[in-house]
Amino acid sequence: MKKNLIIFGTRPEAIKMAPLVEAFQNSADFVTKVCVTAQHREMLDQVLDFFDIHPDYDLDLMKPNQNLYSLTADIITKLKDILEEFKPDYVFVHGDTTTTMASSIAAFYSGAQVCHIEAGLRTFNKRAPFPEEMNRQVATSVCDYHFAPTQKAKENLINENIDERNIVVTGNTVIDALFYSSERVNLEIEGLQEIIEEGKKLILMTGHRRENHGERFVRICEALKEIAENNPEVQIIYPVHLNPNVQTPVYEILSGIKNVYLIDPLAYPAFVWLMNRAHLIITDSDGVQEEAPSLGKPVLVLRDITERPEAVEVGTVILVGTDKKRIVAEAQSLLTDSERYNEMSALHNPYGDGRACDRVVNFIRELTLNKDISPIATGA
Ligand code: UD1
Ligand code: UDP
């Protein structure tokens, strides 16, 4: 029986890999194990708890304010023993984090076939997002099979000379996770009932991108402060990412404002519930940009470019960058101009139908049955 190893390390990878873990573990055709690098700790554990995933291997790597050099080295070094002991046929990595990049290299060294979930996203600017654009380009070079969330992502891969036979358009697995989570929320546990005021418009905020650390984050927080002060009848709820480069400016600038609620990161279903309850979402998060169109929620994206153009094209998402005036003006318009708001809040599903993981499992199953595909297609 073929052996799979699914590796992930951060909150978004865990959310997007959880339905794949379930899909593989429900299939009698494979032995599937899970390895977490724990590049994130608390935020990863929240997801593992909710999806009831018990990793077979936990590298427990997170350090306070960690750096890219040692994290990369630790992931590659620590994976060696696990890869040599378990000897997986297929290793699955996800997206564009340091865990993705380093695990894909380690898996390649081990001789396994390496599979990339959420492959083919590009800004074509290697410093934005930093270091994610480079991480996913490295993963593409190293991986044998590429599971692209959209047709556009597939086209990016074909333009980089990836053999079309090794690319499958699946939709994004985040939509599988979103559908699973929507009805499983327990608001009492998260303490949200005490905060939410019926009848008030809610703005939901998240942010963490490395290229926004420093001055850009200060401007974002000042914009939020102005939006809150101009609109005392609006609630802003902000589950603050645990990165100290985020925590420091957020708490310094936004603490003590009456209608701004700074809270700890929420468990996934509670966050999904809040997205559904929100009037408007302001974020630099990747996953949130993908989830919001499925929920019909307008999003102001705090970035200058995006590798997710689909939602911008259908009009649910606006790139506002980090200019304070622009953020305040766009938020104000969506709070007061109901015609514009209604146009933006139409439901769209550019990122999938909730069956992405089935498509991955089916492809790998076919691969194991069809001996011709694997060696020819990977050039081995
Ligand atoms: C990482 C990913 C980014 C992804 C994001 C999702 C890289 C380089 N960055 O960024 O691509 O979009 O996760 O959130 O791979 N921390 C905690 N507890 C946690 C998580 C983080 O305390 O559960 C703190 C720690 O001090 C840690 C720091 O945040 O050292 C930074 O974590 P890191 O994974 O390096 O960067 P992120 O900004 O989270
Ligand atoms: N999310 C969550 N709790 C929160 C904030 C976000 O579960 O308090 C989820 C969100 O729904 C999305 C994912 O975390 O699926 C996004 O993670 P993050 O913004 O950290 O990373 P990115 O997607 O930008 O890589």
Burial readout 294-317 (b: 16 or more C-beta within 10 A, e: otherwise): bbebbbbbbbeebbbbbbbeeebb
Q: Which CATH superfamily is domain 190-345 in?
A: Glycogen Phosphorylase B; (3.40.50.2000)
Tell me the CA–centroid distance for residue 263 and ligand 2, in Å.
14
Least confident of 157-161, 167-171, 347-351: 347-351
Give the three-class secondary structure for 298.
coil
Point out the catalytic residue in the list 184, 210, 277, 326.
210
**Topology agreement, domain 2-172+352-369 and domain 190-345:** yes
At residue 374, does pLDDT exceed 70?
no
Structure tokens at 138: 């490295």
Distance (Å, whole) CA 272 – CA 183: 9
What is the residue with the minimal CA distance to atom 37 of ligand 1?
243
Tell me the CA–centroid distance for residue 188 and ligand 2, in Å.
20
Dump pLDDT digits (tens) for 251-293: 999 999 999 999 999 999 999 999 999 999 999 999 999 999 9
Q: Is 241 a catalytic residue?
A: yes
Nearest ligand, measured from the Cα of 217: 1
Task: Using pLDDT thresholds of 50, 70 and 90, give the confidence band for residue 188.
Answer: low
Give the three-class secondary structure for 259.
coil
Point out the catalytic residue in the list 13, 22, 74, 118.
118
- Report the residue among 41, 180, 182, 206 best suited for mutation to probe ligand 2: largest number of ligand atoms under 8 A from its CB: 206
Where does ligand 2 bind, in terms of residues with CB under 6 Å? 11-12, 15, 174, 206, 208, 239, 265-266, 268, 271, 285-288, 291
Q: Is 358 a catalytic residue?
A: no
Of 330, 380, 373, 307, nearest to 164 by C-alpha is 373
Mean pLDDT of the chain: 95
Dump pLDDT digits (tens) for 31-43: 999 999 999 999 9
Q: Is 132 a catalytic residue?
A: yes
Q: What is residue 184's predicted lDDT score, i.e. its pLDDT?
A: 77
Structure tokens at 275: 């997205």
Measure the CA dihedral 252/253/257/259, to 10°: -120
Question: Which residue type, as a one-letter code, is found at position 145?
Answer: Y
Q: Is 74 a catalytic residue?
A: no
Dump pLDDT digits (tens) for 88-144: 999 999 999 999 999 999 999 999 999 999 999 999 999 999 999 999 999 999 999
Cβ of residue 46 lying under 6 Å from some atom of ligand 1 = no
Which residue blocks in 260-306 are alpha helix, DSSP H?
Answer: 268-277, 286-295
Distance (Å, whole) CA 217 – CA 249: 7
Q: Is 96 a catalytic residue?
A: yes
Domain residue ranges in the chain: 2-172+352-369, 190-345
Write the class of the CATH domain 2-172+352-369.
Answer: alpha beta
Dump pLDDT digits (tens) for 290-336: 999 999 999 999 999 999 999 999 999 999 999 999 999 999 999 99
Nearest ligand, measured from the Cα of 284: 2
Which residue blocks in the chain are alpha helix, DSSP H?
Answer: 11-25, 42-51, 68-86, 98-110, 132-142, 151-159, 173-181, 187-190, 215-230, 244-254, 268-277, 286-295, 309-314, 324-336, 338-344, 356-369, 373-378
Helix (H) or strand (E) holding 233: none
Distance of CA 377 to the CA centre of its chain: 29
Q: What is residue 380's predicted lDDT score, i.e. its pLDDT?
A: 32
